[in-house]
Each structure stands twice: as structure tokens, then as C-alpha cells.
Amino acid sequence: MIIFGNRSYTPEEIKAGKKSRLAPEFDAAFEFCRQWLNGTPFFDLQTSGSTGIPKTVQVTRKQMHASVHATGRFFGIKKRSRMLCCLDTEKIAGKMMLVRALEWQGDLVVNLPKQNPLENLLDYHFDFAAMVPVQAEACYDDENSRNALNQIKVLIIGGAPVSPELREKLKRVKGKVYQTYGMTETVSHIALADIKSDGPLVYQALPLVKLKVDKENKLCIQSPMSGEGWLLTNDVVEMISNRSFVWKGRADFAINSGGIKMHPESILEKLSPLLQEVFPGRNSFLTGIADPKLGQALTLVIENDEDIERGNHVLKEAKRLLPRYHDPKSILFIPRFSFTSTGKIDQLRTLASWERG
């Protein structure tokens, strides 16, 4: 059964297109479910656009089917599980929650995306749910919804990396919590990392997924979810085994400063405790700004009004905390960041807004 808002539909009703009293905002999700149940072989999906111009990707029913059943095997999902979809059903993550419910013959509550998706579902006990980091943090930070969060048996989090601070919070919840690795082209995730583990997050490949790296340590994937052949990603990883890896950062975000190549995501993780102490609750990222001597100067971007005194303190402490030449040379304050619909910081739009003044 699929529950759109407060109206329930059986698979038979959806297949037949019987959507009486369905709120208009759920039309697209209902139609996707109808197409799936009627055997539509291809679907057009749009990428998030967080690292470039959004594009349309066509995936097959076979790919989506493989993804659903690999995830089911990984977690041992049973039929009639109760599930929550609080993601944008126009994007791959939301669509895959719809398919999981239909294929696992589960009961799915479909809500429109909001920052705290559990605030009106405090009495529900979910077996499986998917969120983006900002949603998981909002649920944890609210005492009432934290109790509901503790009732979720399996929670997967994707769309953006989980911050070290959020990871520490999620280690305290009762159920299983996993960070996903994947993209639209791989039809949702192909690997999962246990957020409650110690040390760096180690991603374990789903069943039937093969992994390798190219000469630049960019991850290559071969799987039923990603289609035929090997898919070369822009993600630099450290292989732990032939089925597991640690994510280091995106190759297209790599910064070459004075001949030293750095991955800003890994550096930011080391800086995170300092930033949360000095600029609590503020978003941030590292980027390379053109520099006549270094080529690119490592620059820390913070979502905050200009604060030179606290900024200078961060730069001084970063120099002490980080390896030589890996500390940011300056701080750029931008009052408001741009975000994608999946909760990722849209670095390109954020910097473009700053450049326009």
C-alpha cells in the first residue's frame, strides 16, 4: 500500500490509475508508480547539478530492479515492511523509494520533502527510511522527532556527505544508519558505509557490484545498476579491498596549489571540529581561488557575515592542525549558500553569487 499524504492506494488501484481525491502535488509520484506497475521499460531521470549543469539520464527498468533487490539483500528487508519516503520523487533517491515499496510489497508513507519529515509522524514506526543529512539532523535535534527517529530500524542517508558532528549524533540512535554512495547514473547507491563504525567511513559494495580505480585513483564501477561496461566516476577513493573503499573527494574539486594536489573534502573533515567550535551550525566548504604565485590558493568559504577576528583565529589554528601547505590561505564569507534539491551545497552557484557581488 502506498500512502500519499493521507490517502491510501493499493497497487491494483495505482496500476489502474484510480487516483480519486489524490492531492495534485502527488500526481507525478502516482504516475511514476502507475508506469512501474504497468511495466514501463525506460525512465528519464535528471541529475542533481551540484557539480555541473543538470542533465537527463535514461535508465532501464532492469537497472532499477537490480538496485532495489541488492539493497534488500544487503539489509535483509522483509515483505510488508513499513517505509517512509520524504525525498523529492522527481529525483532518483525519491523514485527508488517508490520502487522499493512496490517491489518489496511494503507499506510506504509518501510525504513532500521538508526539513523535519518526522514532526507529523511521531507515532509511526518505520522499518526503512531514506533522508538527506539536513533532514536527519533536524529530526535528531528536535526532542519529539528524535524519539521517532529512534524507532526507524534502517535509515540510509544520501545526497551529501554526513558531517562529523552529525555522524556523532547518529551514532546514538537505536537503529542501523548508513551513508550511501551513488549517483543518478548508478540508479541510487552502489555502496553503503556504517555511520556507527569507528574511524573513516568505509563503503561496502552491494551484491554483484565490482570496483576498481584508474591511474588517478578515480573509482570505476561495474554493476547491474549502472548498466553494461565500466562506469568511470569523478570520485577519488582509497581502495581497502576489491569490494570496499574510503571516499577522498571529487577529482573535479581537487585543488592544485603550488604543485601540491589536495582534496578539499578530506581537509574540511579534519577542520570540522574547529569550525563547529568557532562558527557553530554554519555551512562551509573549501575551494581553490586563482592565485598568481600558487595557481590556486586553498580558500575556506563559510556561510556567515564577515567576521575577521574569528576568521583569523580559524586560519591560525588550521595551520597548527593540518599538514604543511594544506592549510587554507584565506577565508571567504558569504552570507547565504545555494543548495541543490537533494541538500548538497551548490558550490558553483554559491561562488557565482559572490562574484556578482
Q: Are residues 71 and 199 in the same domain?
A: yes
**Count of domains in the chain?**
2
Q: What is the pLDDT along the chain (357 residues), one digit of tens a residue?
A: 999 988 999 999 999 988 888 889 999 999 999 999 999 999 888 765 544 556 788 889 999 999 999 999 999 998 889 999 999 998 888 999 999 999 999 999 999 999 999 998 888 899 999 999 889 999 999 999 999 999 999 999 998 888 888 899 999 999 999 999 998 888 889 999 999 998 889 999 999 999 999 998 999 999 998 887 899 998 999 999 999 999 988 887 788 888 788 888 888 888 988 998 899 888 899 888 888 888 888 899 999 998 999 999 999 999 998 888 888 999 999 999 888 766 778 888 888 877 665
Choose among 29, 43, 145: nearest CA to 97.
Answer: 29
Q: What's the angle, vertex CA 222, arms to CA 217 and CA 227, rounded to 5?
A: 135
Cα separation values, 138 from 17, 60, 116, 133, Å: 35, 34, 5, 9
pLDDT of the residue at 160: 81
Q: What's the angle, vertex CA 50, arms to CA 29 and CA 45, rounded to 5?
A: 30
Residue 219 belongs to a domain: no
How far is the C-alpha of 141 from the C-alpha of 105, rounded, in Å?
Answer: 32
Given 140, 172, 204, which residue is the final one in a domain?
A: 204
Residue 247 belongs to a domain: no
Q: Are residues 140 and 264 in the same domain?
A: no
Q: Are residues 48 and 196 in the same domain?
A: yes
Q: Which residue has the cell 566548504?
A: 285
CATH number at residue 299: 3.30.300.30
Q: Indicate the DSSP class of residue 160.
A: S
pLDDT tens-digit readout, 182-214 = 988 888 899 999 999 988 899 999 999 999 999
Residue 99 belongs to a domain: yes
* b/e sequence 252-262, b meaning 16+ C-beta within 10 Å: ebbbebeeeeb
Tell me if residue 277 falls in helix, strand or coil. Answer: helix
pLDDT of the residue at 6: 83
Q: Are residues 174 and 280 in the same domain?
A: no
Cα dihedral value 210, 188, 56, 90, nearest 10? 170
Helix runs in the chain, H state only = 11-15, 27-37, 61-75, 92-103, 133-141, 143-149, 164-170, 264-278, 308-321, 347-356
Choose among 338, 337, 313, 315: nearest CA to 326.
Answer: 315
pLDDT of the residue at 153: 96
Q: Following DSSP, what letter does each residue of 117-128 receive, concatenated?
A: TTTT-TT---SE
Mean per-residue pLDDT over the chain, rounded? 89
Q: Are residues 198 and 272 in the same domain?
A: no
pLDDT of the residue at 48: 58
Given 162, 183, 204, which residue is the final one in a domain?
A: 204
Q: Following DSSP, what letter does each residue of 167-229 receive, concatenated?
A: HHHHTTSSSEEEEEEEEGGGTEEEEEEETTSSSS--EEEPTT-EEEE-TT-EEEEE-SSS-SS
What is the Cα gyration radius of the chain? 21
156: containing domain:
41-204
Residue 226 belongs to a domain: no
Q: Are residues 193 and 289 in the same domain?
A: no
φ and ψ at residue 143, rounded to 5 degrees: -60, -40
Choose among 142, 115, 141, 139: nearest CA to 126.
Answer: 139
| Residues with Cβ within 8 Å of residue 233, at least 6 apart in sequence | 183, 218, 219, 220, 221
pLDDT of the residue at 341: 67
Residue 240 belongs to a domain: no
The amino acid occupying position 355 is: E
pLDDT tens-digit readout, 102-128 = 999 999 999 999 999 999 888 889 999
Tell me if residue 112 falls in helix, strand or coil. Answer: coil
Q: Are residues 68 and 160 in the same domain?
A: yes
- Beta strand pairing call for 56-60 and 231-241: unpaired
Residue 103 belongs to a domain: yes
pLDDT of the residue at 49: 52
Query: What is the reported pTM?
Result: 0.83
pLDDT tens-digit readout, 339-354 = 876 677 888 888 887 7
Q: Are residues 259 and 180 in the same domain?
A: no
Q: Are residues 57 and 193 in the same domain?
A: yes
Q: Are residues 312 and 186 in the same domain?
A: no
Residue 35 belongs to a domain: no
How far is the C-alpha of 353 from the C-alpha of 336, rounded, in Å?
Answer: 9
CATH number at residue 137: 3.40.50.12780
Quick check: 329 and 298 in contact, CB under 8 A? yes
Q: Which helix (H) or strand (E) holds 344?
A: none
Residue 230 belongs to a domain: no
How far is the C-alpha of 299 from the C-alpha of 23, rounded, in Å?
Answer: 46
The amino acid occupying position 78 is: K
Q: Are residues 185 and 330 in the same domain?
A: no
Q: Are residues 277 and 160 in the same domain?
A: no
Given 146, 178, 204, which residue is the final one in a domain?
A: 204
